Amino acid sequence: MRSTSLHAAFLYIREDFKREDFLDPYQRTKVVGLKSFDAVKETRDAIKVAMKIMFNTTSRHAALGAVEATGLEAPQKYGDWLATLKAIEAHYEPIAHYLYANKGLEIQALDSQIVEMIMLEMIKQKTVVLPVHDSLSVRLEI
């Protein structure tokens, strides 16, 4: 699970949702697996960038400027970035109050604390854990 996906996941859990309620926070469709098709991937990638910005800014205006500055095109489905941001806000209504609340660093810190706890627990079990980008690797023993 990628960092921004973790942001949304942590916030949904904070709001008492279950993991099954948000299988892919960027996927704007109920069809699991559809993200693998190119047409949906473009929209998904744009929403991913927009959400990362929305979690790390303090206003829609700031997020709009930042997302437009990326040079990415807004998903055709929404027409422009303002409509895209509004659609994201509506779709993620249960956690929308965290958008534009500059929560990105707070959630990244929580993610780091979780990884640290896992690594320290595995050290107690004499198992080496290597953090690799957004996952943890351990030696497979059979």
Q: What is the per-residue pLDDT for 36?
A: 41
Q: Show Cβ contacts of residue 130 under 8 Å, excluding neighbours closer than 6 positions.
A: 136, 137, 138
Q: What is the per-residue pLDDT for 135?
A: 80
Residue 11, classified by CB atoms within 10 Å of its CB into exposed (0-12), middle (13-18) or buried (19+), is buried
- Put simply, whether the predicted model's pTM sits higher than 0.85 gets the answer no
The 3-state secondary structure of the chain reads CCHHHHHHHHHHHHCCCCHHHHCCCCCCCCCCCHHHCHHHHHHHHHHHHHHHHHHCCCCHHHHHHHHHHCCCCCCCCCCCHHHHHHHHHHHCHHHHHHCCCCCHHHHHHHHHHHHHHHHHHHHHCCCCEEEECCEEEECCCC
Q: What is the per-residue pLDDT for 32?
A: 42
Q: What is the per-residue pLDDT for 107?
A: 87
Q: What is the per-residue pLDDT for 57?
A: 96
What is the pLDDT tens value at each position of the chain, 142 positions in all?
445 577 788 888 888 887 776 666 665 444 444 444 445 566 778 888 999 999 999 999 999 999 999 999 998 888 999 999 998 898 888 889 999 999 888 888 888 898 899 999 999 999 999 988 778 888 877 7
Extract the tokens encoding 60.
Answer: 């829609």
